Amino acid sequence: MPDTTTTPTPGNAIRDMDARHHLHPFSDTRALNQRGARVIARAEGVYVWDADDNQLIDGMAGLWCVNIGYGRQELIDAAVGQMQTLPYYNTFFQSTHAPVTRLAKAIAGITPGDLDRVFFANSGSEAIDTVIRMVRHYWTLKGKPYRKLLIARENAYHGSTLAGASLGGMGHMHRQCDPMLPGIHRIGQPYWYGEADGLSEEEFGLQRARELEEKILEVGPDNVAAFIGEPIQGAGGVIVPPRTYWPEIQRICRKYDVLLVADEVICGFGRTGQWFGCQTFDFQPDILSMAKGLSSGYLPISAVAVGDRIADTLTEHCGDFNHGFTYSGHPAAAAVALENIRLLRDEGVIESVATDTGPYLQSRLRGVIGEHPLCGHIEGIGLIAGLALVKDRQSRTFFDGDVGTVCRDECTAAGLIARACGNRIVLSPPLVISREEIDAMVDRLRIALDRTYARVS
C-alpha cells in the first residue's frame, strides 16, 4: 500500500523511507543514505526547522529562491484562490487566461528597456532551453541560419537539462552525460580574486570581456547567435565581475550583432538591490531569463523576456513557434508570481536591499570575518555574497582538500544553512532578512569558520 498519510512522521522514519525510495538531485545518494538526509519540516520568515525541531537560519533562501521569505499568507491565498477558479488551463493553441496575462504585463513593467514580451516555462533550465531555441530560430527567420553558435563562460551554471548543462561551464556535469550539445564555445570567467594575476579589477574586467571578441573572431562573427552570462555567477561561487566587465561585453555584442542574454535566474527579483542584475551592472540584454525569485519558490515557474527586435520577428515572420510546455504559464503559479511581485514592490523589499540590509550584510561580513585566517576574499553586492576560503591569505593559496564542504557542515552545526561551491562559501538569504537576523547569520558563520580552522589548520 502506498503511504498517503499526512500526519507528521518522525525524522527517522522519513529518513528511512527517503533512503529506500528517493534519488536526490546533485547528491551522492550512497553517502547521503549512510548519513541520513536532513529532514526539513517547516519554515517561517528566514528560518527553517528540521524534524527534530532544530532552528536554522536559511542563509540560502532555499536554492536562492525564497526572496520574499517563508510563510507569506498572501501567496498561499493567491494559489488557493486561483486553484478554486481555474486550477489549470494551457496557453497553447490560441488560449490564454487572466493570471498569465497579468503576469506577463507585470514582468514587462519591471524589466529594463523593451523586454516587453514574455514566454513562460517551469524551471530555470527550461527557460534556458527556450532561449537557445529562440535565438537559433530568430537567426533562421532573419535569413542567417548559419548563426547558430553560442558563447558562454567557464564555471557558469545555466541549469541541468541537456541544453542547460551543455551551456554551463561545469566540467563535473559534462563528464556525466557526454556528449554535450554541439555549437557551444566558452570564454574565461571574470573571477578577479582567483585569476587576475596582478591586474587591477578594472583591467581584468576588460581583459576577460575582450576574450569574447577574440572568440567571436576565432569562430567567425557570422556564425555566432548569442552570448549568455549570469550577471553574477551564482552556483559558480558568487563571482562578482569587475564594474568594467558588462559594459564592455555589451559593446562587443553590439559591434558584432551578437544577441546578449542575461541569465537572471538568481540575480532577478531584487537579489542585487535592483529588480535585475543587468540594472546593477549597467547593461541592456536582448533576452532575459528568470525563475526562482519570480514566485519566491512557492510554485515552479520561469520566464524569458524578449525585446522588440526578437519578439517582432517571432510574431511577424514565424508562423507557429514549435516550442512550449504543458505547464507554460500555469494559472496557480502565475497568480502566485504576480502576488510575489506585488509584495516585493509594495513592501519596498528591493529598496531596502539596495539601501539598508544589502550594504549592512556586506559590511558585517567584512567586519566580522574579513580578517579571519581562512578568509581570502569576500565579494558580494546586495544580499548575495561569496567567501573564498584559503590556506594562506598572503599568497592566496587555496586548500587541496574539500574545505568548503567542511565549512558548510560546520555552518549547519552552528545553525546556518550556507552553501559550499568548491573552495567558496556562499550566502543568499531571503530578501526580507532584518539587521538582527543578519547579525545572527554572520555570527554563526564566524563560529563555523573558527571550527573549520581548528579542523583544517
Q: According to the binding rule CB under 6 A, does residue 263 interact with ligand PLP?
A: yes
Nearer to ligand PLP among residue 160 and residue 189 (C-beta): 160
Residue 164 burial (CB count, 10 A)? 24
Looking at residue 240, the DSSP 8-state letter turns out to be P
Q: According to the binding rule CB under 6 A, does residue 128 interact with ligand PLP?
A: yes
How many residues bind ligand PLP (CB under 6 A)? The answer is 16
Please choose, out of 29-37, 230-238, 241-249, 404-412, the segment that lies near ligand PLP by the rule CB under 6 A: 230-238
**Distance between CA atoms of residues 54 and 143, nearest Å:** 60
Residue 223 burial (CB count, 10 A)? 15
Q: According to the binding rule CB under 6 A, does residue 421 interact with ligand PLP?
A: no
Nearer to ligand PLP among residue 208 and residue 292 (C-beta): 292
Alpha helices in 88-153 (DSSP H): 98-110, 124-141
Q: Is 225 within 8 Å of 136 (Cβ atoms)? A: yes
Nearer to ligand PLP among residue 139 and residue 157 (C-beta): 157
Q: According to the binding rule CB under 6 A, does residue 325 interact with ligand PLP?
A: no
Q: According to the binding rule CB under 6 A, does residue 234 interact with ligand PLP?
A: yes
**Distance between CA atoms of residues 383 and 381, nearest Å:** 6
Q: According to the binding rule CB under 6 A, does residue 132 interact with ligand PLP?
A: no
135 closest CA partner among 253, 15, 3: 253
**Distance between CA atoms of residues 379 and 394, nearest Å:** 17
Q: According to the binding rule CB under 6 A, does residue 235 interact with ligand PLP?
A: yes
Q: According to the binding rule CB under 6 A, does residue 383 interact with ligand PLP?
A: no
Identified binder of ligand PLP from the candidate list 107, 239, 291, 417, rule CB under 6 A: 291
Report residue 304 as a C-alpha cell: 524569458
Looking at residue 363, the DSSP 8-state letter turns out to be H
Q: Is 273 within 8 Å of 266 (Cβ atoms)? A: no
Please choose, out of 34-42, 153-161, 193-201, 324-332, the segment that lies near ligand PLP by the rule CB under 6 A: 153-161
Report residue 166 as a C-alpha cell: 551543455
Q: How far is the CB of 5 from ligand PLP (least distance, A)?
A: 30
Q: According to the binding rule CB under 6 A, does residue 226 interact with ligand PLP?
A: no
- Residues forming contacts to ligand PLP in the complex (CB under 6 A) are 123-125, 128, 157-160, 164, 230, 234-235, 263, 265-266, 291
